[in-house]
Amino acid sequence: MVIDAAIHELQALLGERLVTSEADRTQHGRNETYYPDTPPDAVAYPETTAEVSAILRICNAHRIPVTAYGAASSLEGQHLATAGGLSLDMTRMNRVLGVRAEDLNATVQPGITRKRLNEELRATGLFFPVDPGADATLGGMAATRASGTTAVRYGTMRENILALEAVMADGTVIRTGSQARKSATGYDLTHLLIGSEGTLGIITELTLRLQGIPEAITAATCRFASVEDAVNCVILTIQSGLPMARIELLDEMMVRGFNAYAKTDLPVMPHLFLEFHGSPAAVAEQRTAFGEIAAEFGAEGWQTADSTEHRNALWEVRHKAHYASAALGTGGHIWPTDVCVPISRLAEAVRQAQSDAVQRGLTATIVGHVGDGNFHVGLSVDPGNAAEMEQAEAFTSALAKSALRLGGTVSGEHGVGLGKQKFMDDEHGAALDYMRMVKAGFDPNNILNPGKLLPPQPRSPK
């Protein structure tokens, strides 16, 4: 068999770092959500760019699918080897290759996680700001164009990557971008690879923008009588130009989930979780300005967290939203989805999502990085309950259509992967054909994460 010949060559290259055991294959076929397990045929653990290049040359020659794997925290199945073949586990390529504090950048391998990078940066007074919640690998975050709680202030992965090294499907190693803050030369391949979900190349090195650790940081929470009041408070805050570092919405069901899972005792009302960065004077000014806005919308229960310990505890609760959502259901699985809309249409989108979930009899939490119009819905589902899964499918389709109708996108953060391919034509129209041409040019044998991001091309009528 072709796969056996490829495995033989890969074993000669990698030795014990090419694994076909059932335990490893099973581990690499799992995911955090409702997708069925899809074990690959083999798992490779490269340690250098040269090894990644050699692996792809072998797989391309044998037409073996290759799916990159990091922390496996993606929510749309991007890391699942649905076509079989090789799972390329990048977690051993996890070093910081260089920190240039004077230029506010660092070069890292893709397998390092964001938390470990920030631990290594601590002595420099710098940090990497993108925080999706999960302790994801930087390569995976780049491939899925991750963002998170701090995107309202610091941007997404798209804004925080200066340069990449990547291995193409045929094994060719390329470099895109530079340490310079801007460039006017050539096609922007850096930003083409960011968000391509491993379908165009395998990222083996990243040069990242860094930020100075703020002199003062304060977190806070407050609650509102309704989601509309909370969202309208966010809208006015952003429109007023307040430089919020984080501004997160929790609806009533999400608060119930946190109380059940994290043993918090929050009043079951919509909440905002906030954070302010800057000098002590600037933080005080931001807190006062936000408090005045929040008061207009009936905010109550204002609490602050100034110490590192208390701030970390607050955001640890927020980052467990996925598991807290699961605590509300009986099926043990979450169907997660997200959309992003213009900030002026946010209240309408959230209100519609809540209403639709109730009408369909679904247990749904809403939590979001609402400062940039992005919110997430966690549907508690039982994959064995066909009727419930049908309702969840209908809900996500309605939510996507609502986001597009309001001038938004079907995903601000989770990406496309498996679950959102069916919406790509509605969002991108004729541009989807050009995306397919890009894919064919970069990966003519379709070995890189096949079956992800781009929906299958419909057959022409006979």
- What are the pLDDT digits (tens) for 71-129? 999 999 999 999 999 999 999 999 999 999 999 999 999 999 999 999 999 999 999 99
Confidence class of residue 332 from pLDDT cuts 50, 70 and 90?
Answer: confident
Cα-based distances in Å from 145 to 132, 251, 381, 410, 425: 10, 26, 27, 14, 20
For residue 337, list its beta bridge partners.
377
DSSP string, 99-141: EEGGGTEEEE-TTSBHHHHHHHHGGGTEE-----SS--BHHHH
Cα-based distances in Å from 49 to 120, 172, 296: 22, 10, 55
Please tell me the predicted confidence (pLDDT) of residue 1: 65
Looking at domain 216-405, its CATH superfamily turns out to be FAD-linked oxidases, C-terminal domain (3.40.462.10)
> Residue 146: is its pLDDT beyond 60?
yes
User: Where do the domains of the chain lie?
Assistant: 2-89, 96-212, 216-405
> Residue 300: is its pLDDT beyond 50?
yes
CATH number of the domain located at residue range(s) 2-89 in this protein:
3.30.43.10
Question: How far does CA 341 lie from the centroid of its chain?
Answer: 17
> Please, what is the angle between helix 227-239 and helix 280-296, to 10°?
130
Please tell me the predicted confidence (pLDDT) of residue 459: 53
Of all residues in the chain, what percent are helix, strand and coil, respectively (each to 5)?
40, 20, 40
- What are the pLDDT digits (tens) for 192-238? 999 999 999 999 999 999 999 999 999 999 999 999 999 999 999 99
Residue given tokens 């589902």 in the structure block: 381
Architecture of the domain defined by 96-212: 2-Layer Sandwich (3.30)
**Calculated CA dihedral for residues 256, 261, 265, 266, nearest 10 degrees:** -40
